[in-house]
Homo-oligomer: A and B are copies of this chain.
Amino acid sequence: MTDQTPQVRLERAKEASRATAALTSGDKERVLEEIALGLERDAERIIAANALDIARGNENGIGDSLIDRLRLDDKRVAALAAAVRQVAALPDPVGRVVGGHRMPNGVALEQIRVPFGVVGAIYEARPNVTVDIAALALRSGNAAVLRGGSAARESNTVLVEVMREALVRSGVTAEAIQTVDDFGRDGATALMHGRGYIDVLVPRGSAGLIETVVTESTVPVIETGAGNVHIVLDESAPDDWARDIVVNAKVQRPSVCNAVETVLVHRQAAPRLVPLVASALQSEGVAIHGDDMVAGLVSNVIPATEEDWATEYLSLDIAIKVVDDLDEALAHIRRYSTGHTESIITTDTRNAERFLAEVDSAVVMVNTSTRFTDGGEFGFGAEVGISTQKLHARGPMGLAELTSTKWLARGSGQTRG
């Protein structure tokens, strides 16, 4: 395909999106089943390509955790196919009537869900995202143009080939799934500037990648991900809830965006809660970065700096700060939150309701773990991403968030008076 330009790929995706938009729900289920079968059948070919990426990654010393994210083995390829089947089983949002009424003059108005057209994605070296995004885009009637991390290039090339072959076997044009990986930086640029071709662009990855995509793009972007997540332990926070929720929110899966990063403790409750919560965290291997008061209450505290309050650790580290009252906690959250998820632990109804009303985040919680901010947990059945912007979608996104709407008006000769 290297004789093409990125622009040609965008144009072909746009053209193909007319075909994917016209597929029935049953058609799309068959396409996705064909993709799942293709992934299973071509597992060896996929794993062989992945081995090249792994070898290059090891040569370049990209580190164990990146190698682990990159690696595909039999079990993980099977998981890719299973994920595709899970997406196929989701209800099709396209065609759903979401509004409408009859105008006084008799014109029948109907607002229905329609595919966006072409969904673009820019992401890092996780081959599973290649398959996830393509499956989600197709299920919602969209074509997809993908730009994955260069470290996963061999894997992505083969995964896209396997999916395109499955499209053709299903009688759908292969052009509905495109990669622009082979154009390097130019591929990403073409996506970000693809006005008229890319209907929505979803960046997935580090805060730096997301910032670049949001800043450079002239196409509409859905900003996902970065979570500098806070839990407030109010004066009335019960011991068990405070301990169990903070430990769960930090330890259950520290590398994800809904893991807690900073705990703000009411001064009156600090002597009671800080030692309790900190020792539970430390026994799970968590390093505590704390202010002076925390350091006075617990041993082995790393002095917290300004940077700690702003950091999304994504690791077994946590920042703990003592605040004078709810006002100070809210001001801290306003300053440092990325607008993803915040939770308060309290039995004071007034403070709970004030927190729910005043915190300006996608998900605001009382007395529960921030780990619940998740498409699966929210019952959407799939993980399109978690939007931290306010336009179009906010919080965990389901398939419906990969669609737009259009208005249909059926009349019988009406004109405007």
Contact with B along A388-407 (1 / 0, CB 8 A): 01111011100000001111
Closest-by-CB residue of B relative to A414 is B368
Contact: B409 with A405, CB < 8 Å? no
Contact: B372 with A414, CB < 8 Å? yes
Q: Summarize A's interface: helix, strand, loop or mixed.
A: mixed
Pick the interface stretch among A52-60, A182-190, A241-249, A278-286.
Answer: A241-249
Contact: A415 with B244, CB < 8 Å? yes
| A residues 287-338 in Cβ contact with B at 8 Å | none
Residue A411 at the chain B interface, CB threshold 8 Å: yes
B contact residues around A249 at 8 Å (CB): 415
Question: Bound complex: CA of A352 vs CA of B358, how far in Å?
Answer: 49
Tell me the minimal C-beta distance from A231 to chain B in angstroms: 12
Tell me which of B241, B365, B411 contacts A368 (CB under 8 A).
B411
Contact: B377 with A416, CB < 8 Å? yes
Contact with B along A214-237 (1 / 0, CB 8 A): 110010111000000000000000
Contact: A360 with B117, CB < 8 Å? yes
Question: Bound complex: CA of A395 vs CA of B356, how far in Å?
Answer: 32
B contact residues around A363 at 8 Å (CB): 406-409
B contact residues around A103 at 8 Å (CB): 372, 377-379
Tell me the minimal C-beta distance from A130 to chain B in angstroms: 23
Contact: B395 with A406, CB < 8 Å? yes
Contact: A415 with B371, CB < 8 Å? yes
Tell me which of B220, B407, B408 contacts A391 (CB under 8 A).
B220
B contact residues around A413 at 8 Å (CB): 238, 240-241, 244-245, 367-368
B contact residues around A369 at 8 Å (CB): 411, 414-416
Contact: B220 with A415, CB < 8 Å? no
B contact residues around A241 at 8 Å (CB): 412-413
Chain A interfacial residues counted at CB < 8 A:
70
Residue A155 at the chain B interface, CB threshold 8 Å: no
Contact with B along A20-33 (1 / 0, CB 8 A): 01100000000000
Residue A269 at the chain B interface, CB threshold 8 Å: no
Residue A366 at the chain B interface, CB threshold 8 Å: yes
B contact residues around A415 at 8 Å (CB): 244-245, 247-249, 252, 368-369, 371
Residue A362 at the chain B interface, CB threshold 8 Å: yes
Binding site for B on A (CB under 8 A): 18, 21-22, 101, 103, 107, 109, 111, 114, 116-117, 195, 199-200, 214-215, 218, 220-222, 238, 240-241, 244-245, 247-249, 252, 343, 352, 356-358, 360-369, 371-373, 377-379, 389-392, 394-396, 404-416
Identify 24 residue pairs between A and B in the complex whose beta-carbon atoms are under 8 Å apart, listed by A's number: A103-B379, A107-B372, A111-B395, A117-B360, A117-B390, A195-B215, A214-B218, A238-B413, A244-B415, A252-B416, A352-B410, A356-B410, A362-B406, A362-B407, A363-B406, A363-B408, A364-B406, A365-B411, A366-B408, A366-B411, A367-B412, A373-B407, A394-B407, A396-B407
